[in-house]
Amino acid sequence: MPLNPQIHLVSRPKAEPLAENFQLLSLDTPALQDKQVLVKHEFLSLDPYMRGRMNDVKSYTAPQPLNSVMIGGTVGEVVESRHPGFAAGDKVVGMGGWQTYSVVDADTPGMLRKIDTTHVPISHFLGAVGMPGVTAWHGLVRIIEPKAGQTLTVSAASGAVGSAFGALAKARGCRVIGIAGGKDKCDYVEKELGFDACIDYKQHADYLSLSKALKEVCPDGIDGHFENVGGMVLDAVMLRMNQFSSIAVCGMISGYNGNPIPMANPSLILVNRMKVQGFIVSEHPADWPVALKELGELVGSGKFKPRETVAHGLANAPEAFFGLLKGKNFGKQVVKI
Amino acid sequence: MPLNPQIHLVSRPKAEPLAENFQLLSLDTPALQDKQVLVKHEFLSLDPYMRGRMNDVKSYTAPQPLNSVMIGGTVGEVVESRHPGFAAGDKVVGMGGWQTYSVVDADTPGMLRKIDTTHVPISHFLGAVGMPGVTAWHGLVRIIEPKAGQTLTVSAASGAVGSAFGALAKARGCRVIGIAGGKDKCDYVEKELGFDACIDYKQHADYLSLSKALKEVCPDGIDGHFENVGGMVLDAVMLRMNQFSSIAVCGMISGYNGNPIPMANPSLILVNRMKVQGFIVSEHPADWPVALKELGELVGSGKFKPRETVAHGLANAPEAFFGLLKGKNFGKQVVKI
């Protein structure tokens, strides 16, 4: 069996995560047991949720254990199989982690899924046609429940989830306004992703200023919002939400480094009879097939052209992850293994 | 027609409402037109929502106009009728306002409803078997959707809404924990209303301390919360909410005097996949008959014994209202006209 370069979490961050929290090792790959499959990873997904897992605190999932391979989504190819459902050469998506190979118990439901890469590049199964895409779908379809003609907003609009949200919302006849950091990202969101407008939050010193900018592009208010960020962006959006509007809460990235960030005007939840709901996409398995079908068609037909930021080599995964947390990526952040 | 003593709003409060914002006048009662009914009020309801109406700002309803009779729920007796559906002597509930008589367009749906006071004292149709009771019912049944055995909490537990919430939740087999201000109120909530426990928030300097006290009486966490207050109480409860729990947001009384009060840890909405939803009971007319039937049975059978604080005389309504906003009342605050 081949040697398996891999990255372990070896200590927990006190504030921002650092390179010293990770260690690159090269260990033997164990021989396959019955019903197991050996997968060689082509791409590793980097996602904001990983920051939460690095902490040893109660969150929606157990923390990442120390001195073991960092969790992460992967796409790759089966190189050896002792499971009747998989054969060498199959393209697959799974949760292989930050490593070059993974040995997968393929009998466990949801561990490994075969994918068809005829019309969709394989890395997109980590983004637009993968977990981030389904995340956008669930928040939009199940929580916001949009109607054609409504105005929707999404923060981190140029990212993997935000860009999928835009494509799905446009397909339902909605106006979609993005919020992103920097002129380049906003240009991309408007011109390449086809959002109706995009606001650069970095141009605004506080949430009142950002809220004013939102008012200009949302003259009829906001009917639904998908929150990837929290903090100032959420406060600004709250001031523009309409009666009976909904907010799907998917991320609070700006609060991950230890300090909770308050919500400035929670009484608006009452004043506007809003619904504010948090969710984790992995808890809604029934949505995945229908969401992946729609997302695959949007990407395969060219209606939705997701962009990626690719880091090269497993050793560069930590650095790329730090960049992701600072918003340096452009679209979906992956690592070419 | 009789002279009609009445209280007008004549100026808007800058912070706390003051006596000078109100004026007592005695005006003529106009003669009845066809389809109108003259009602002599027995009791006027005082409710926290009235504080919001005194401001000239966008809220869920239009502000109370200046120099006209303050809005308010009333119960009383028909003294003259030019509508075939009502006769002198009928007991009725309506929105007669802060005055002694009202002339009601009885053809307008929802303006006036006949009530049966055989088993339920008439003033309770302003409280337990009225708008506050239906408010508790909607938040509990439609937003929290409780299951038997779950732990629920409610703030302002000794008030009209809170006490009805407790009775309705106990009827569904839930554990109910109240939060109220002062030992007397907490004793009342535990001993007379039959809550499983009641926490005195005045014994706690901050939300972390209050949250610790909640942990002791909610060892399995909180599955549903009904929020009448906001601020420190909401922050404390948030820290104890379970996964997939819900908060029905009915009141943010502590923020009415102008300054929005932030929510300390909104990221818990995501961490615990919570639903936080605001509502106004008047927007859910379909719930009223079923809710009133259940509440009437609970009160009529003696299972739920709501308490009232009664102010005597219309002229004392403003003072009683200020007391309500400071939590001086005990149960439902009404004014005997």
Same domain, B315 and B276: no
The interface predicted TM-score (ipTM) is 0.89
Q: Quick one: pLDDT at residue A287?
A: 96
Same domain, B138 and B274: yes
Half-sphere exposure of A324 (CA within 13 A, CB side): 26
Q: Quick one: pLDDT at residue A48?
A: 86
Q: Quick one: pLDDT at residue B77?
A: 98
Same domain, A138 and A186: yes
**Residue B270 forms contact with A (CB below 8 Å):** yes
Q: For the segment B321-331, what is each residue's pLDDT rounded down to a tens digit? A: 999 988 888 88
Q: For the segment A252-269, what is each residue's pLDDT rounded down to a tens digit? A: 865 555 678 899 999 999
> Cα–Cα distance between B140 and B277 in angstroms, integer?
12
Q: Specify the CATH number for the domain of residue A214.
A: 3.40.50.720
Q: Quick one: pLDDT at residue A1?
A: 75
**Residue B234 forms contact with A (CB below 8 Å):** yes
In the sheet with A22-28, reading across from the earlier edge strand, the strands are A22-28, A3-9, A68-69
Same domain, A80 and A202: no
Q: Quick one: pLDDT at residue B34?
A: 96
> Cα–Cα distance between B218 and B211 in angstroms, integer?
10
B272 and A278: CB-CB below 8 Å?
yes
Same domain, B271 and B161: yes
Residue B111 falls inside a structural domain: yes
| Closest residue in A to B254 (Cα–Cα) | A267
Number of other residues whose CB lies within 10 A of the CB of residue B112: 24
Same domain, B271 and B325: no
A234 and B279: CB-CB below 8 Å?
no
Q: Quick one: pLDDT at residue B259?
A: 72
> Looking at beta carbons, which residues of chain B come within 8 Å of A230?
266-267
Number of other residues whose CB lies within 10 A of the CB of residue A320: 20
Same domain, B57 and B182: no
> Cα–Cα distance between B335 and B127 in angstroms, integer?
12
Going by C-alpha positions, the residue among A212, A237, A205 that lies closest to residue A224 is A237
**Would you say B156 and B230 are in contact if contact means Cβ atoms under 8 Å apart?**
no
Token readout for B137 is: 């019912």
Angle between helix A160-171 and A131-138 (nearest 10): 50
Number of other residues whose CB lies within 10 A of the CB of residue A14: 10
Residue to substitute from B243, B267, B283, interface A, most A β-carbons within 10 A: B267
Same domain, A176 and A271: yes
**Residue B271 forms contact with A (CB below 8 Å):** yes
Same domain, A250 and A274: yes
Residue B288 falls inside a structural domain: no
B15 band by pLDDT with thresholds 50, 70 and 90: confident
Same domain, B219 and B332: no
Token readout for B217 is: 């009486």
Strands A308-312 and A275-278: unpaired
A278 and B263: CB-CB below 8 Å?
no
Residue B295 falls inside a structural domain: no
Query: Three-state DSSP class for B94?
Result: strand
Same domain, B57 and B196: no
Q: Specify the CATH number for the domain of residue B55.
A: 3.90.180.10
> Cα–Cα distance between B335 and B173 in angstroms, integer?
34
**How far does A288 lie from chain B, in Å, by closest CA?**
18
| Closest residue in B to A273 (Cα–Cα) | B278
**How far does B282 lie from chain A, in Å, by closest CA?**
12
**Would you say A17 and A42 are in contact if contact means Cβ atoms under 8 Å apart?**
no
Name the average pLDDT for chain B: 94
Lowest-pLDDT choice from A301-305, B41-45, B109-113: B109-113
Residue A297 falls inside a structural domain: no
| Closest residue in B to A283 (Cα–Cα) | B273
Asked whether the predicted pLDDT for residue B156 surpasses 90, the reply is yes
Spans in chain A with pLDDT lower than 50: none
The number of distinct structural domains making up chain A is: 2
Asked whether the predicted pLDDT for residue B255 surpasses 70, the reply is no
Asked whether the predicted pLDDT for residue B258 surpasses 70, the reply is no
Asked whether the predicted pLDDT for residue B59 surpasses 70, the reply is no
Distance of CA A128 to the CA centre of its chain: 9
Asked whether the predicted pLDDT for residue B142 surpasses 80, the reply is yes
Same domain, B113 and B221: no
Residue A173 falls inside a structural domain: yes
**How far does B253 lie from chain A, in Å, by closest CA?**
9
Q: For the segment A168-209, what is each residue's pLDDT rounded down to a tens digit? A: 999 999 999 999 999 999 999 999 999 999 999 999 999 999
Residue B168 falls inside a structural domain: yes
Q: Could you tell me where the DSSP H helices lie in A150-283?
A: 160-171, 183-187, 207-217, 232-238, 267-271
The size of chain B, in residues, is 337
> Looking at beta carbons, which residues of chain A come within 8 Å of B272?
60, 278
Question: Residue B191 to residues B178, B195, B203, B295: CA-CA distances in angstroms?
Answer: 12, 7, 19, 20
Residue to substitute from B257, B261, B271, B284, interface A, most A β-carbons within 10 A: B271
B271 and A230: CB-CB below 8 Å?
no
Residue A288 falls inside a structural domain: no
The parent domain of residue B187 ranges over 131-282
> Looking at beta carbons, which residues of chain A come within 8 Å of B255?
267
Q: For the segment B220-249, what is each residue's pLDDT rounded down to a tens digit? A: 999 999 999 899 999 999 999 999 999 999
Q: Quick one: pLDDT at residue A58?
A: 64
Number of other residues whose CB lies within 10 A of the CB of residue B289: 10
Distance of CA B278 to the CA centre of its chain: 15
Residue A298 falls inside a structural domain: no
